[in-house]
Every structure is written in structure tokens, then in C-alpha cells.
Chain A
Amino acid sequence: MPKPRKPSISQSLLVLIFGAITTLSYPLTAAETDDGNWRIVNYWSEWCAPCRVEIPMFNELSVRLANSQVIIVGVNFDEDPRELTLEIADEMGIEFTVLSQETVDLLGMKPPDVLPTTYLLSPSNEVMAKLIGMQSEQDILEALSLQGLTVLTD
């Protein structure tokens, strides 16, 4: 199993040029699905090895994006009950918001055919990119860049 790519020093200083709108509290609620944010939606499962590998990258990226218009959220592919999902997320070390099934439904998300899969949703919840398989930070940043979400590095 490939190891996650560690961010370089320059990547660790990445800042999105668009301004801070909000930092979501945990958990995301239905009312927050039309908050004007872009969303990186990562489908994971506890038994999916590549999912577990990319979790640390999403954790770090979610911190960097905390004051931007892009938020990272996760979805338990297995659709376990909410309490169990949060327990599993904790065991997996997931530090970003994990959506409830109700919110997933509200976003109109369709379960992917492959794990892991990561979607980029526009503020209107339109799927702008579907990234199949394990992603690197660079993959995610490139997907953002294709949507005009330019990234500055210090």
C-alpha cells in the first residue's frame, strides 16, 4: 500500500486567495448546506485501506482551508448509524466534519462505485469533479485550481 505523500514546506504554507467566510462547527447541519462554500466530499470506509491512507492528508488540508470558502467533509460509505459512524471516524483519526446521512441526502450525493472517491461540490452543490481512488494533496489542489480556486504559496 503506497504511503501518503507528505506535504512539502511550500505546500504547508498554502493559502487560498479567497477570503474566509466561515468555519463550520461539528457536525454539519442541513441548514449549512447552502452556506456558499465549496465542499470537498470524501467517501471513506473503515475497511478501505487506501481510504485510511489518505485521511491524514485530508486532516492537514482541512486545517489549512479552515478560513477559506472550501471545506472538507467526509461520508461513511457504509451508512452505519450516526453514533457508530462517529465512533469509527474517531478510531480512524478523522479530524474533519463527517456528514450525517440526512445531510448527504440533502446534498443529493450518489454513493460512488469505488472507494475512496472524493467529490468537489460547488456552492450550489453541483458535482464539479469526481476524483476516484486515493488522492494526494496535489490532486486536490489541482481540482480546486481547475475551478478557478487559485492557490497562493508563500
Chain B
Amino acid sequence: MIRPIGSPNAALLVFLFAWSFGFASGAAGQGRLEHLPSPAPSNSSLSRVVANEAGEIYLSWVSQDTEQATLAFSRLTSEDWDTPKVISRGNNWFVNWADFPALSVDASGMVAHWLQISAQGTYDYDIRARFYPKDNATWTAARTIHTDGISAEHGFVSMLPFDNGTTLITWLDGRETKQGNPLGAMTLRAGIFDKSGANVSEWELDHRVCDCCQTSSAMTEKGPIVVYRDRSSEEVRDIYATRLIEGAWTLPQPLHNDNWQIAGCPVNGPSVAAMKERVAVAWFSAKDDTPKIQLVMSSDSGQSFSDPIVVESPNTNGRVGTVILESNEVVVSWMDTTDGAKIVLSRYDIKGNFLDITEVASSSASRRSGFPIIEAVGNSVSVTWTDISTTPQVKVARIDY
């Protein structure tokens, strides 16, 4: 999601940060890469970076010791990262490299979630969340996002600031996998929650989706768009999108007919970004055992999309991220497996023409390295990932275009 730099203060913040932290810069391509100090401790992972409307960067992560897992965050100021603050901790969490906590931030407050193992069922877990209304300046008690009361898999959450301080939360909901004969499939659900965490409305967006791919959402000029990996009755698992237009969700439509037929889990969800009427979606597929990352763009808030642009094939294992810059250019993050594994950013102009590629860091194809996450503020892209070369630790970098 784009967070334009809209004030002199924000621009000053970026400048001061570059001045005070400027080390280890230099990169291939056109983007100026800067590795930032990380506020996350050793044994941290599962990080996300997100920005609010003012262009302030927030970093969240999970740290683990032998006793428990802790979800924490820090805000980047002009001087340094804030002292990390704990959102929640527990010894009954489901901690997973592909399905991990999200943090949503806007002017009205924050929302964060984590996954907690259900009392019943070894592989069943609930989505737990805390809300932080800015006017109360305190986190609410934890609450379960879904209301089914069924011990099943719930996860792969995406969050999006919505109207009047509410938050749109989208998740995969396994309630139907425990009901019916034959048992049902994983579903895609969404709900709107107010600042206190109360459920304002809830929908089932798709009755049969892929079990273990991330969801992604973004706010267009005409409303939110949610993208996800579908699952047809013939086990075709292509990327679909649905939009909330004037209070009703549109019939889910494929972004492209990849026809990737697999009776399994790619563990590789799509990523959507939006700025006003412009939308970009990147995703991974591997039809015919050929890995491929594709990108489509829209100029009508996701009503229609361009033909796909191949970002990379076959030297990738996916793990994509997408942002739109203030310049209208689109940046896609992905894992390059040409020689080992690298986190790279590919940049495209508004017409989809390739501009450049920037190598951010060496990484690992290992699952423990997780999914790199990107966020845009103005024409800068913040990236976070987990370095597993020694003790796992969350890293952060910024690329200025």
C-alpha cells in the first residue's frame, strides 16, 4: 500500500534518517540501497513493515525463547527506532514462517493479530487480535476475530485501514473443513472491525480457496480489493480478486487463467497494492513445474487488469510483495534463486515497462528466512526480512528511487 509523503515534516524525517543512519549503501540497479539498524533482538523473525498516512514506518516482529513467543513493534522516528513495545506474548501460539502476525496502523490507532492454538485439535488455531484506539492509548484485551467457535485452522490474515477508524480484516477460515459430509473446504472471509475491536460486519468472500496461501488487500479509489489463491473443484489454484463496491462484494474473478492445477499447497500467496485508481498485483505460479512470477496492473480500481508481465521465470521461489510509488511506478519484491537466494526488487513504469532491478540482500531459500515484506512511502521502499546466516534476526533496509 502506498503512503505518500504528504507533509514537510515527513520529508524532513526521511532526510534526517538518511543523514543519521547512512551506512552500507550501494546497490545494483537504480535504487539507492541503505541497510538500517534493526530494533528487533536476536531470535526474531516473521517481520512486517507498514506505514501510516503520515509516512511513519512501523516494524513488527516475533521473538522467541524457550518459554514463549512475543509480538512486538517499533516506530521509526527521525532519531532512531522507538523502544520496542510488546503487543502480546504467549506459550500457546502457532508460530509459522508463512502465516504470521500482521500490524495495521492509521491515524486512529493500530490493530495486530497472532495465531493461538485452539484448546481442541493439534493443528487448529484461532486468530487473536488486540486493538489500540489512539484516543484510549491502550491495547484492548485480546479477542478472537472469527465468530464460528469451531476448532479449525484460521489464519493468513491481511489487514487494511477502512472508513472512520475501522479496519478491514481478511482471513482464511477452516470452519467448513470440520463440517459436512464430505467435509467442506477452506473459505475466505472478511470483516470490518471498529476501533474497539467490535465486529461491524462480516462476509464469506469465497467458499473454496487454497488452504495455505497468504491473502492480500489494498484500498483503491472505489474501495478495497482482496486477492487470494482460489481452489476450483478441479484443483486449479489461480489468483482471484474481489472488491467491495458500495457495500457489496463483487463476484470473484481470476486475474489471469494460469490453469495451475495442483492438489496441494503452494504456500505462496499474491500481493496487491493500490493508489487511487491504480492497482498492481504480483503472484507466483509453477505450472508445468516452471516457477514464474507475474504482474498485472489496473487503472480502474481493479475492475479490469492488463495482460500479465513476467517478472521472473524460472529462477525464483516466489514470496512476492508489491508496492506502488508516488511516481506511479510499481515495485515487486521476490526471491531470486539463480545462485543461492537473494531478495530483489524489480521496478516497472506505469505502462509495465521494466526499469531496473535492485538486489537487497543475500538470503536463503530456507523457509526459516520467511517472506520479505515491503512498504512504500513516497518513492522509498522499506524492506524487512529474516537473516538466518547465524542466529535469526529481523533486518530492515530502505531503497530510495
Contact across chains for B123 and A114 when beta carbons are under 8 A apart:
no
List B contacts of A49 (CB < 8 A): 123, 153, 177, 211-212, 265
Contact of B177 among A1, A78, A132 (CB under 8 A): A1
Please give the distance in Å from B108's CB to the nearest CB on chain A: 33
Contact A115 B123 (CB under 8 A): no
Judged by a CB distance under 8 angstroms, whether B23 is at the interface is: no
Stretch touching chain A among B189-197, B275-283, B322-330, B363-371: B363-371
- Residues B183 and A47 in contact, CB atoms below 8 Å apart: no
A-contact bits for B178-195, CB 8 A (1 contact / 0 none): 000011010000000000
Tell me if B286 is interfacial: C-beta within 8 Å of chain A. Answer: yes
Question: Are A117 and B123 touching (Cβ within 8 A)?
Answer: no
Within B272-319, the residues touching A (CB, 8 Å) are: 284, 286, 289, 291, 317-318
Q: How far is the CA of A77 from the CA of B317 in the complex (A)?
A: 14
> In the complex, A26→B278 CA distance in Å?
56
For B368, the chain A residues whose CB sits under 8 A away are 78-79
- Chain B facing A: main interface SS: loop
A52 touches B317 (CB 8 A): no
Q: How far is the CB of B179 from chain A (nearest CB, A)?
A: 11
Q: Is the CB of A114 within 8 A of B153?
A: no
Q: Taking A1-B177, A132-B262 as contacts, is the C-beta distance between A113 and B291 under 8 angstroms?
A: yes
**Residues of chain B lying within 8 A (CB to CB) of residue A130:** 289
Residues on A with C-beta less than 8 A from B185 are 1
Name the CB-closest residue of A to B316.
Answer: A113
CB <8 Å contact, A1 and B366: no
With A46-B123, A48-B212, A49-B211 as contacts: A77 and B263 at CB distance below 8 Å: no
Name the one of B96, B262, B365 contacting A111, with C-beta atoms under 8 angstroms.
Answer: B365
Tell me if B265 and A114 are in contact (CB < 8 A). yes
Distance, CA A9 to CA B128, complexed state (A): 46
Taking CB as reference atom, which chain A residue is nearest B368? Answer: A79
Query: Contact string, A44-88, partner B, CB cutoff 8 A, digits 1/0?
Result: 001111101000000000000000000000000111000000000
> Chain B nearest CB: distance from A145 CB in Å?
20
Among B243-273, those with CB < 8 Å from A are: 262-268
The verdict on B56 contacting chain A, using a C-beta distance below 8 Å, is no
Inter-chain CA distance A3–B99, complex, in Å, is: 25
B122: interface (CB < 8 Å)? yes
Q: Does A149 contact B (CB under 8 A)?
A: no
CB <8 Å contact, B262 and A133:
yes
Q: Which of A52, A78, A91: most chain B CB closer than 10 A? A: A78
Q: Are B182 and A114 in contact (CB under 8 A)?
A: no
Q: CB of B97 within 8 A of chain A?
A: yes
Pairwise interchain contact B264-A114, C-beta atoms closer than 8 A:
yes
A50 CA / B263 CA spacing, docked (Å): 8
Q: Known: A78-B97, A113-B286, A130-B289. Contact between A50 and B367, CB under 8 A?
A: no
Given A46-B123, A47-B123: A133 and B366 within 8 A (CB)? no
Asked whether A134 is an interface residue with its Cβ less than 8 Å from the other chain, the reply is: yes
Residues of chain A contacted by B153 (CB below 8 angstroms): 47, 49
A116 contacts across to B, CB distance below 8 A: 264-265
Residues of the A chain whose Cβ atoms lie less than 8 Å from the Cβ of B268:
113
Given A50-B211, A79-B368, 13 extra CB contacts under 8 A: A47-B98, A47-B153, A47-B212, A48-B264, A52-B123, A78-B96, A78-B367, A115-B212, A115-B266, A130-B289, A132-B262, A132-B264, A133-B262
What are 9 inter-chain pairs, A to B, with CB distance below 8 A? Answer: A1-B183, A1-B185, A49-B211, A79-B366, A91-B122, A114-B266, A114-B286, A116-B264, A130-B289
